[in-house]
């Protein structure tokens, strides 16, 4: 298979338009037209990770953090970063990164982090993107209705009913017509009245799935030019957000929350910003990565405490002044993406019969050692 097959499916899950402005997501090095056989999931792309990929015959690296946050100003191979780029290219490895678009995706990074802390009654925190939803109505001969409906649902034509999957509407009727001479395909005798049993299928399609759904419709519909109608639903949007706010399984103190984060995310040390380590906590906000600037929003939305990484010194003072407890377990908690992405790719590989091996990086790329 080609790399673009995996990426087209992934970008239905986490479209690039969800990314924050100037976040360099997407193809980093290589070509999406390259044939791939083994994908490695990783948080970061560092020289030791590239060596790991080469040793394990990986030809596609899928990372959370972009390898090229800043453009290369030259190709001086004495620069370790440039030398890493050269090694990637020399070994025909394609590199792709999904960063803040993965953070904002439904079922993505911040849902994985919230799940790890066993948070329930989740709501979003930081608005990321409002996605349009379309109503697609398709007319199809009744004998083909089930096959067309199932194909479109598989392609992403899903009504926005969170408690159901494959939610569609179907109504049957009769089409009356007189075929003209040379009609192709021929349905009935030219010049004579004819009728067939017909079905009208109705779906709601999120914008991110629209291209694939319409392509699938063209591929599977029995008529050369399918009859369909597409309407943007102005009163319905899907709201993508970064960060999650939810309830802990039971109330705990700030100290207990910090200890729980150490165990859950496998970190040997973390920072806590709080006046009172015994303060009870029930509702927690979490945002992977550098989320300190959003602490006011987390507090306004009802969180008792906030879990995020890379809190700056002066921001920490502001958090204390706001009397809002914050646990900073570091940026590396996002390494939860390594097994989660692998699980996702394995699921798709089975579903679409891809000949694709999945490898999870075992390199710890956390640059910090706690003493």
pLDDT, one tens digit per residue, over 93-142 is 999 999 999 999 999 999 999 999 999 999 999 999 999 999 999 999 99
State yes or no: pLDDT of 160 exceeds 80.
no
81's enclosing H/E stretch is helix 80-90
pLDDT band with cut points at 50, 70 and 90 for residue 67:
very high
The rounded distance, in Å, linking the Cα atoms of 140 and 143 is 8
Is 103 assigned a ligand-binding role in the annotation?
yes
pLDDT, tens digit (0-9, with 9 covering 90-100), for 268-312: 999 999 999 999 999 999 999 999 999 999 999 999 999 999 999
Quote the DSSP letter at residue 331: G
The rounded distance, in Å, linking the Cα atoms of 160 and 112 is 21
Is 331 assigned a ligand-binding role in the annotation?
yes
The β-bridge relationship of strands 326-328 and 305-309 is parallel
Q: Using alpha carbons, list the distances in angstroms from residue 68 to 13, 26, 105, 342.
A: 23, 10, 22, 22
CB-count burial class (<10 Å; 0-12, 13-18, 19+) for 316: middle
Q: Using alpha carbons, list the distances in angstroms from residue 354 to 9, 97, 256, 358.
A: 12, 21, 44, 11
Give yes or no for a cis peptide into 64 (omega within 30° of 0). no
The rounded distance, in Å, linking the Cα atoms of 165 and 70 is 41
Quote the DSSP letter at residue 240: E
Could you give all domains of the chain from N- to C-terminal order, each with its CATH number?
3-102+335-360 (3.40.1390.30), 109-128+242-333 (3.40.1390.30), 129-239 (3.30.70.120)
More confident position, 267 or 183: 267
pLDDT band with cut points at 50, 70 and 90 for residue 87:
very high
State yes or no: pLDDT of 18 exceeds 90.
yes
pLDDT, tens digit (0-9, with 9 covering 90-100), for 306-351: 999 999 999 999 999 999 999 999 999 999 999 999 999 999 999 9
The rounded distance, in Å, linking the Cα atoms of 146 and 352 is 20
Q: What is the dihedral of CA 80, 86, 91, 97, to 10 degrees?
A: 80
Is 64 assigned a ligand-binding role in the annotation?
yes
The rounded distance, in Å, linking the Cα atoms of 151 and 139 is 14
Residue 272: strand pairing partners: 327
Is 314 assigned a ligand-binding role in the annotation?
no
Q: Using alpha carbons, list the distances in angstroms from residue 146 to 156, 179, 202.
A: 16, 25, 12
């Amino acid at each position: 298979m080609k790399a673009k097959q995996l990426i087209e499916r992934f970008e239905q899950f986490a479209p690039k338009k969800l990314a924050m402005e100037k976040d360099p997501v997407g193809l980093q090095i290589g070509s999406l037209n390259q044939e791939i056989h083994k994908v490695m999931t990783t948080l970061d792309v560092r020289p030791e990770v590239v060596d790991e990929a080469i040793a394990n015959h990986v030809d596609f690296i899928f990372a959370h953090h972009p390898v090229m946050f800043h453009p290369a100003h030259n190709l001086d191979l004495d620069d370790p970063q440039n030398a890493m780029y050269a090694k990637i290219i020399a070994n025909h490895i394609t590199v792709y990164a999904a960063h803040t678009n993965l953070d904002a995706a439904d079922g993505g990074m911040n849902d994985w982090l919230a799940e790890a802390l066993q948070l329930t009654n989740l709501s979003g925190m930081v608005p990321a993107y409002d996605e349009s939803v379309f109503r697609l109505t398709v007319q199809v001969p009744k004998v083909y209705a089930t096959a067309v409906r199932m194909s479109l649902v598989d392609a992403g034509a899903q009504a926005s009913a969170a408690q159901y999957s494959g939610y569609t509407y179907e109504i049957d009727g009769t089409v009356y017509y007189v075929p003209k001479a040379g009609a192709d395909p021929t349905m009935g005798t030219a010049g004579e009245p004819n009728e067939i049993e017909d079905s009208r299928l109705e779906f709601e399609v999120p914008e991110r799935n629209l291209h694939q759904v319409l392509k699938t419709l063209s591929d599977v519909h029995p008529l050369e030019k399918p009859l369909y109608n597409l309407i943007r639903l102005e009163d319905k949007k899907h709201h993508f957000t970064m960060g999650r706010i939810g309830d802990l399984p039971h109330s705990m103190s700030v100290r207990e929350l910090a200890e729980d984060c150490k165990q859950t995310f496998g970190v040997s040390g973390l920072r806590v910003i709080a006046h009172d380590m015994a303060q009870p906590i029930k509702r927690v906000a979490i945002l992977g990565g550098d989320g300190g600037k959003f602490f006011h929003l987390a507090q306004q939305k009802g969180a008792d405490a906030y879990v995020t990484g890379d809190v700056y010194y002066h921001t920490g003072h502001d958090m204390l002044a706001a009397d809002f407890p914050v646990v900073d377990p570091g940026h590396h908690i996002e390494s939860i993406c390594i097994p989660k992405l692998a699980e996702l790719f394995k699921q798709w590989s089975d579903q679409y019969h891809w000949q694709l091996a999945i490898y999870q990086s075992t390199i710890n790329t956390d640059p910090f050692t706690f003493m």
